[in-house]
Amino acid sequence: MIKHYRTLLLVFALFCNTVVIQAQNVSLKLNNVTVKEAIEAVKKQTGKSFFFNVNDVDLNHRVNIDLKDAPLGKALSQILQGQDIDYEVKDNHIVLSKRNSTKNNQTFTVVGQVTDEKGMPLIGVNITAKGHGNTVTDIDGNYSIKAAPGIALVFSYIGYLQESVKVNKQKTVNVQMTEDTKALNEVVVIGYGTQKKANLTGAVDAISSKEIEDRPVSNLGRALQGAVPNLNITYGSGKPNEGTNINIRGFGSINQDAKPLVLIDGVEGNLDNINPRDVESISVLKDASSAAIYGARASFGVILVTTKKGKDGTAKVSYNGRFSFSSSTVKTNFLTTGYDAARLVDEYLMSYNGTRYTKYTEEDFAELEARRYDKTENPERPWTVIKNVGGVDQYMHYANFDWYDYLISNSRPTWDNNLSITGGTQKLNYFVSANYHTEDGIYKQNTDRFETANIRARISGDIKDWFNLTVTSHLYHSRYEAPGLENGNNIANYTFHAMPFLMPYNPDGTHVFSTPIIAQQPTDGVHIMTADGNTFTDDKFKRLTTSVNATFKLYKGLTLHANYSFRYDTQDKVVRTAPAEYSTEPGVIIPVTGDLFKNKLRQRNNSEYYHMVDAYLSYDNTFNHHHIRGLVGFNYEQDYQKNLYSTMMDIQSNNLNDFNLGNHTEGVSLEGGQYEWALESFFGRVGYDWKGRYLAEVNLRWDASSRFRRDKRAAVFPSVSAGWRVSEEPFFAPIRNTFSNFKIRGSFGSLGNQAISSPYPYIQTLDLLQQNYLVNGEFLTYASVSAPTAGNFTWETVVHGNLGLDLGFFNNRLTFAGDLYIRDTKDMLVPGKTLPGVYGAASPKENAADLRTKGYELTLSWNDKFNLAGKPFTYGVSFALGDNISKITKYDNPTKDFNVSQYYEGMTIGEIWGYKIDGLFKTDEEAAAYQAEIDHSLIAKNILQTATGKYKGLKAGDPKFVDLDGNGRIDDGEKTANNRGDMRVIGNSRPRYNYSGSINLGWNGFDISAFFQGVGRQHRYPDGNAMLFWGGYARPYSSFVPEHFLDDVWSEDNPDAYFPKLRGYAAQGDRHLAKVNNRYLQNTAYCRLKNLTVGYTLPVDLTRKARIDRVRVYFSGDNLVTWTALKSKYIDPEQFSTDGSARVYPFAKTFSFGLDITF
């Protein structure tokens, strides 16, 4: 595959370089034209830019020129004839300057190089020596100019602060220019265009490529985590191909996930498919006024990703390579002493129902104890022996085995390679990039592996002065191969029964499945799957996206834009379950049985075709300080998907996976499905500002969606916004140097939401099913009708209100941006009124609920520079904070009955109800007295009924539940919000106070940046399977018990422990620790050093010798340090916040070493 990429890039580069190397001869036939018109004619033929001082050149002077295929110099001489002007041709630039009249003995030549802060040469920097002419830097950043003592050389370049250097008699002046952050942020990509950030009236955040390109991540979604306030990005696990969950400004709708619309160069896409190195900028549109132009699918925000474009000039080739390795973000030191584990698991089960887990005899325990301190197997005391059990010689295990180390490897070596080529002329430019990423996973015996490949090509050319054509293509490929259960979801099974006293294999290499020691099987046998590698998932995905954009300049300020985009997705997923074998006695091989090991081959093929057409007219003009811009356009989108799913049993080979090798008579299944949807829209926008001081904008969108019936299909969504740049008022001038920017802005508008899971929600559907009994010797097939629908539902409407404030101080070195917002989601689709049981179906969905979200976001930053040891030292710090809270404002549940719905009017989204625990009982007498006084039968059946002997009844160390309502019983009352008995709202599962901060430093080629990200508060009650938290309280046979877990368990010698009296299964089902309570409610708040990057750019003088423009080496680390309020060092707080059991693919801290080369 890499070979093909190289060939494609080489061919494309040769083609583009052919375009760049243009002939320098020109043909002109011009009669009585101005110098300005003649310069334009040369510019049009050669593609070269002219640089000159308009006060030096008489542009209105008229000339006559008649040349055919003449040298460029001859043409320039004729054009400038009669004027005291010299010319100089440098690459794609022509510099005109006034002839120097100073005496020769007073002038001298100054040479030098102009670079950026990283040492990269800057091409086309304008250098002016007053009275002595001007010039521009060449492709290497070098320049030469005449000057005289005392003259100041002025260096200017778009996007950089102007530099001025006074010369005396020095012959060499090298200059390092600093980026002007104000200028860089001045233009922001918005819907169907760009706009000065200073003139924005909506809530828009912009991110540049510099902020994300060094993150050691495989896709753009991971790079954006924490980068923007209230852009909330989470992951359900640390799996390499785990998808990005995105939310803007909090909870949006109870009907579906409030996902933002993601557009990549104007085409809907996925952040997980984008190489961060291809990105030029990202804009996050948060409110209705900024997102309204996208209508139906932008109700919860828009993320606009703009990829890199070609740049004028000689071709530049850039390579970035990175190698990474990882370690765990949490502790992985578990109990591995077989004797201690056996005693502990037996006690857990004894405390539950009076039985033991293991079948060890006291003789066996003596064998275990003899090996108790053997960290590795001693040949004199082997961990697996042959013992006669019931007259049969069987394998008996007395191990101290580290199952975690056997199953899991946290090193996860990763390679990432990026190559890009860019160049062109003023008429045509191109950008081509390729990326190949491979990452090994955590499964140690047969590792899972994730690979991605990206190829992106963009070519843009001015066919005519009034016509530009741009073609962009992107091909993405990913493949995830994983052993074991489908999608590599093995972790949950790994946590069962893999006890340290057991081995995964026997001395002869056969697998361990059933043993004479326990009734269950370690890991449910999944460790056999991952060791053999015959049971696996192979998931391949490809996406091809192509866009053709045409731009027609019709009149001054009036432009027609037309775009057609096509996207094709295909997924080919193979899941194989192969038979396996194990042994319990020497020389006897037994096939593994059970549903997990059925000999089966499954394959899923999904394909999707997406078409989009955009056409719009835009107008932009300024007259008498009145700036007017507007657009009107049309959008059409169509999507078609088709799925095919097939199954074949009894495959005749464990290595060859083909349906032809299966049993064609039994167990064969074939399923499919297809659907389509369409969206048609008309939109318009009008914007106005006067002197950039008073700002206003109006948007209007008409949408029609196929997801609703014809008479409910269309809706209109308007928005309006306004702003006042107070700092542009004349009365502000005296303090403008200190108080640089002061802008107030506000917006209000509505958007529609049609993101419903079904493409045909307003009609009933038919499913063909098969009975399990025979009729006339055949299984009966029948049609099942779905539940009735309301039929009259329509769009959810999302109404946004936003008030913003932008401030700048000390020439905008210190900046502040703040927003307050309210978002109302109206007419949410939820089950309607509760219907009587005789209706025979669930209540159909109706537009019957409302939700309000309130929030704020703040950003504060400081950027500055000063000279240190004669070289510029740049630094910057920033901090961002966002928060929101959502409440139900309308819902048809008047009694607030939780048996009817979990929602009710006035409810705060994410609220957690629970009991109150007032510590642990100090003595058995105190516990018995409280049990006699307060009825615990609802919450402690395991203690009062299931437990036996000394464990029966409340004892010292058990938690003391408080009877808050004083009715003499611990219960949940009438199960309504008005009467929940002894339960109260004790926390909230939604993330609060999302924050981030960054520090960056740069000096003398060194650059350092640190990025912190975290959540101020988020509650989670550990699930019944959260064994890393509960240990045996969840399941006595937990495979991975924290090494010092018993230090936190109550005993007579440890009465102040965190965990209560040891009781197995206490956190499962309806047992007492499964009842949500304040004592064990966890706050998953955390602060994480998300990224630290240290880089060094080699001096240009050194790299030039090797004909290399720039070489940078760097180290980058992700998730390096985590501080958390979570009371466990074995669970990642970010992981726990999305999965209450924490039995998922672990997160990783990553260490990367990289190299950037440009030549």
Helix axes 35-46, 72-79, angle to 10 degrees: 170
What is the band of 844 on the pLDDT scale with cuts at 50, 70, 90?
confident
Per-residue pLDDT, 2: 40
> 830-858: buried (b, 16+ CB within 10 Å) or exposed (e) per residue?
bbbeeeeeeeeeebbbbbbbbbbbbbbbb
Examine the pLDDT at 22 and tell me if it is beyond 70. no
How would you classify the pairing of strands 302-307 and 279-285?
antiparallel
State percent of the chain over pLDDT 70: 94
CATH topology classification for 1-99: Phage tail protein beta-alpha-beta fold (3.55.50)
**Domains in the chain: boundaries:** 1-99, 102-178, 182-310, 337-400+485-532
Long-range contacts, stretch 179-187, CB < 8 angstroms, 24+ apart: 179/116, 179/117, 181/812, 181/863, 182/812, 183/158, 183/159, 184/159, 184/208
Write the CB contacts of 951 (distance below 8 Å, at least 6 apart in sequence): 350, 351, 352, 354, 943, 1063
Please state the pTM of the whole predicted model: 0.83
Per-residue pLDDT, 19: 34
State percent of the chain over pLDDT 90: 58
Examine the pLDDT at 75 and tell me if it is beyond 80. yes
* Cα distance between residue 697 and residue 320, in whole Å: 42
Give me the mean pLDDT over the 68-85 stretch. 84
Tens digits of residue pLDDT in 227-256? 888 888 888 888 998 888 888 888 888 876
Rounded to the nearest integer, the mean pLDDT of the chain is: 88
Q: CATH for 182-310, among 2.170.130.10, 3.40.50.620, 3.30.413.10, 1.10.357.10?
A: 2.170.130.10
Residue 1050, strand partner residues: none
What is the band of 491 on the pLDDT scale with cuts at 50, 70, 90?
very high
Per-residue pLDDT, 137: 87
Return the structure tokens found at 803: 């008030």
Residue 879, strand partner residues: 860, 997
> 207-225: buried (b, 16+ CB within 10 Å) or exposed (e) per residue?
bebebbbbbbbbbbbbbbb
Give me the mean pLDDT over the 861-887 stretch. 92
Examine the pLDDT at 3 and tell me if it is beyond 70. no
Q: Compare 791 and 352 and report the one with higher pLDDT.
A: 352
Examine the pLDDT at 103 and tell me if it is beyond 80. no
Per-residue pLDDT, 760: 73
Lowest mean pLDDT among 291-295, 518-522, 873-877: 291-295
Tens digits of residue pLDDT in 675-697? 899 999 999 999 999 988 999 99
Length of the chain equals 1159
> 497-523: buried (b, 16+ CB within 10 Å) or exposed (e) per residue?
bbbbbbbbbbeeebbbbbbbbbeebbb
The DSSP output letter for 259 is P
| CATH code given to domain 102-178 | 2.60.40.1120
Tens digits of residue pLDDT in 516-561? 999 999 999 999 999 999 999 999 999 999 999 999 999 988 999 9
What is the band of 184 on the pLDDT scale with cuts at 50, 70, 90?
very low
> Are the CB atoms for 98 and 53 separated by under 8 Å?
yes
Tens digits of residue pLDDT in 581-638? 999 999 999 999 888 999 999 999 999 999 999 999 999 999 888 999 999 999 999 9
Tens digits of residue pLDDT in 80-94? 887 878 888 876 778
Per-residue pLDDT, 180: 67
> Are the CB atoms for 570 and 528 separated by under 8 Å?
no
Q: What stretch of H or E contains 181?
A: helix 181-184
Integer distance in angstroms from the first to the last C-alpha of the chain? 24
Same fold, 1-99 and 102-178: no
Q: Compare 665 and 615 and report the one with higher pLDDT.
A: 615
Per-residue pLDDT, 11: 35
Tens digits of residue pLDDT in 154-175? 888 877 777 888 888 778 888 8
* Cα distance between residue 1020 and residue 67, in whole Å: 80
Lowest mean pLDDT among 391-400, 748-757, 885-894: 748-757
